Structures are given as structure tokens and as C-alpha cells.
Structure 1
């Protein structure tokens, strides 16, 4: 059994430090907080005997490895002192004064996002997994379903990672099953790839199958749009997702309208330019476009305007056509003189042309 030795003097009541509540509690995991408060209370109990970490894990409904990880986390944050004296003996001391130093660089840092999980997966022992398989039919059923979807027998590593989805990421079993089915249907059967997807879902606050299905549908839209631009990427950047989301939500364009803009972009630029697509969609948004029929109407109006402009331009450069009335060069003719010349011409003809 592993035991811990308390060094803190035990008062008759539990009083959590205010600085811990305001500065450390908000960014901590629920499991880590549970370990801290429980052991802090135990350390402040009068005549408290040494506790085994196994019994602590059992009381808190946690794994032994999780308790160790939580204590190491708080030690690196500088709010307590946790030291392994031997395989079965540990030393634990809670600090009542706020740490004056920056937490150690090795402390696990929480991502600067809305994630509520630690970056480090707990290290489960094979005995722990076997124990949970014996006690839980749900765990056994999950492993069997996973083998069917992945098309192979699960290794010890596979089992530990899959179990971590439930124990570490707090994903419901039906959500884990949908996750495995989704990844396998896209030819992604590597357990570490599935783990990355699981973490990303939890990071985005997805905790039900319905939410996961909505995300999958939206992701399909993202990749269909990128595919229309000639991109074959299997991942999408935050900037790309933000741009496409704006088209779908702020501009409220249907997928077929966006795909039409992508088609025109490729024809004009011959490259996957999201900026060019965005410029097209902005012009359509300003023109109140909602459907492809609206796009067709805009195209017709544009062609008519273009043709009219071309005709006007051509007409302004064309020389004026001359009629039979103005084919003769203009002079100041004396019509009396013309009549006289005509009479003389007739008289010569009558006299034999002389």
C-alpha cells in the first residue's frame, strides 16, 4: 500500500486559502480540485492517521494514477509539496501562503482555449483496466464494439486510451462509440488519431452524440468547400474555419452558392484562394443574393450592361454614313449658270454634237 505522511499542523476546521480559490481553482480540472480539497480536509483533521493513496482513490471514485497525477500537478503549481519517499511512502504538505514564485516550467499548462481537460492522459496500469473490465459491462461492451469498427483485436494501449475517453475526458459511452464509428468510416483506425479527435471534441464542448453529429455535418461542409477549391487537405486551419463559418452564418449562404463561388474562383485564379471566394461572396451579399437563381439574374444583368456599354463605345468610334444626298462634295453652286450650261449642252447635241 502507498501511504502519505502529513506535515501540516491540524486545526479544528477547514479553511481554504482565498488566493487558492481565486487564482488556482478556476483553471484547474475538477478531478484535481477534488483531490486537493479532500486531502486538505484530511490533513486538517485532528489526529489524522496516514492515508493510503489507494483508499483515497477509492473514496474519490478515481484511479490511483489520477490521484498521483493531481498531486504532481499541484506540486508543480506551487500550492503544495508532494514528494515520493519510497515506493509506498509519500510526503504531503499544504502551503497556506500564496506562492511567490512562478510555477515550475514542467507544470502541465492548460491550453488557452475553452478546453477543460489536461494535456496529459493518465497512465493507467494494466491491472486497473482489467479490474474495470471485470466490474463494468459497459467497458467490456465498448471494447467489443471498438474491435468491430477497427477490424482488429485491441492492444493494451488501445484499451487504455479508449478507457481514458470515459475516465479522463468524461465522454459518455454512446459518444465514444459514435466517435469510433465516425473515425473508422473515414478510414482512420489509428488509436492516436482517434484520441486527437476525442480531445478536440471535448475541447469544443461536445458531450452528446447529437452535438457530435452536428459537428460532423458542419465539418463535411468545410471539407466539401475546400475540395471544390482543389484542396485535398484532411485538416482545416482556424483561419479557414473562421472564414467559411462567416459565409455560412453571417452571410447565411447556402452550400450550393458557396460552391459556385469556389468554381468561379478556380476558373479565374486556378488556385484555392479563400480571399477571392470571399470577395465574390461579399459582392453577392451586398446584392442580396440568396439562391443560385439570384446569381443567374445578376449574371444576366451584368452581361446586358456589358453589351450595352460595348455597343455605345463602338457607336461613338464609327464614322457617320453618307447618303446619296451628301456623297457630292459640298460647294457654293450658281444654279443659273448650271441652267445655262445645260442649255448649251442640249443645243450642241441637236446640231450634231459640235
Structure 2
């Protein structure tokens, strides 16, 4: 494969990264795509820089197809132009970002969508979504991380004009057919605009979009909002191939059974409510299986049974207290004992009692919480539920 020439129509003599790129383009792009684009900027002014797809793939430990996918993404964003000769990439032309930005702000579609705006400002990014129901928020394999703290703007979707352009696209037709088979219904135009966003804008391969739908349906979730939330979380976590998604699911299942063993549960699979709880502990709270195992042990000792709601009270308290490690839990326990001891009636204490020092990292400043009160609230709620 021949060398690729890179032309720069921007200011020479420096590797520039305009604020517009940081504010406007970078937050939306996949991290690997950003790295490849930055490498191109640097390569322009490197002496004798004639990279090939193969050499770029070697630099980033990925495939040539991954590199080309990144380049096509930036071409679609309007930041560069790819020139081919006999189907072989020959030249990459970097375009001025300021000019590109004004060029992309075209008149919106009749339906109100910004067809000419491939990358919205950072304040409008779809990385986090709010306004979901509790059931929709209980997503798995990291999708909770994509479901919080954003505005209530229009969900991500391709334009009506772009949907018409994809009408005869074989991949798009296959995605629609497979999705309808899994969901058991005919997809509306709005459904297709949401679903094909992952294929057309985020560059998910056809089989990954199909697997996304299959994954959600297998968990009893058929709403397009849920599918969108999971898909955005995958993109945020760098899951861009079917292999990535299956590896993530395999790791998730391994963690489930590790947690189950900590609870003493064997010979059955987790039910949806248990999966939702474990996903929250692992992904939203960011706890290791060791920390969750400690909560499971305390649950068994206190209740005599593998109560997920009881463990959730413990883990939520730890999360709110800023726990990140088992040592943090030890610090929290020590402070809890000191608090309880101080609240007991005064007893005769020998004078000159040395002050207890913290043998752990002083960077950990746990928040105060009433562990006993939380436990009692859970027990009371369980009792009231029986009536």
C-alpha cells in the first residue's frame, strides 16, 4: 500500500488545537478518533511524514479499518477531506475548523432537526439523558453512566433527509428488518431515525446495531429510549465492534456470578432486578467485586439471608460516603464506632487517654452517615410491606 500525503491549509509551523475543536467537536467524538486526528495534526509538520493506514494502525494498536473509520468520521464532521485513487487512500486534506463550523450551520430541516449540524455544541451533547423512568434507568453493563444529568432536549437521531438517503442502503434495510423481528413490531419513522443514528453518525457496524437491539430485548427492554441509552453508553465506553460488546457482556456475567457466590447463591441465574442492582453497584457506584462481597458478607451476618435490598442500603451508604476501597470501609467503621461510643452515657475514663490516630490515608475524608438508622429504615420498610 502506498504512502499517504497530508496537506494542511491552516497555519504552518505549529500544531494548533483551536478552542472550537475542544468545545464543539471533541466532546462528541470517540476517544480513539480524537487521538488519530491529533496525530494527523502533529504529522503535518513532522519531517518526512508519509504515513500509511498500516503505520497509523501500528501506532494506535488497532486495525486499518479502525483508522479508516476514524478518518471517515472526521471527514463527515467536515474537518478533513479524503482523496482516493483507485479505491486507495492517497491524500488527507485538513480543513480550517472555523470555516467548517460556519459551513455546517445550515438551515434546519422542516421537522426541526439540524441536518447540517453533525456535531452540536457541548452544552447540547447527548452523553447523558434524564427524564427516564426508574425501569429505564435500570440499564446494564455501564449504561447507567449515560443516563444522568443532561437536559431534556430532543434525543439523538438522524434527519428525515438523511433517512431518505439511506432508504436503499442494504445495511440500513437489514438493521430495520432485524430490529423489527426482535421488537415484534413495525418500526416507525422516528424509531428508524433513532436506531440508524448509531450506524450513520456513531459508525456502529451493522452487526453491532443488531446486537444492541438483541441485548436490550434479552433484558426485557423494548423501548427505543432504553436502546438509545445503552447504545450511547457503549459508545462512551469505546465499544465500537461486536467483539467489544460481547467481551463486555462476558465480563459482566463473570462479575454477576462472583457476586452471587459472595451471597452464597448457586445453581441459578440472576433475575432482572438482581442484574439491575449489580449493574448499579458495579457501574454507577464503581465498586469492585471485593467491596460488594464485603457488603454481601455483612448482609448475611445481619439478616441470615442473601438480601439484595439490604446490601443495597449498605452499598448506597458507602457510595454516598465516598468509599473507594476496603481500607476506606475500615476507616468508616472506626469512625462509626467512635460516634456510637461518644453517644453512650459518660463513664469514668482514665485521664490522659491518648487520642486515637487514623492509620489510613488521610486523603480519604468520609462523610458521616447513620449506618444503624439506614438499616432500621430498611427493616421497617420490609415489615410494612408484609401488611
> Aligning the two structures, in what range does the TM-score lie when normalised by the shorter sequence?
0.3 to 0.5
Rg comparison, structure with higher value: 1
Greater RCO between the two (CA within 8 Å, min separation 6)? 2
**TM-score normalised by the chain length of structure 2:** 0.42
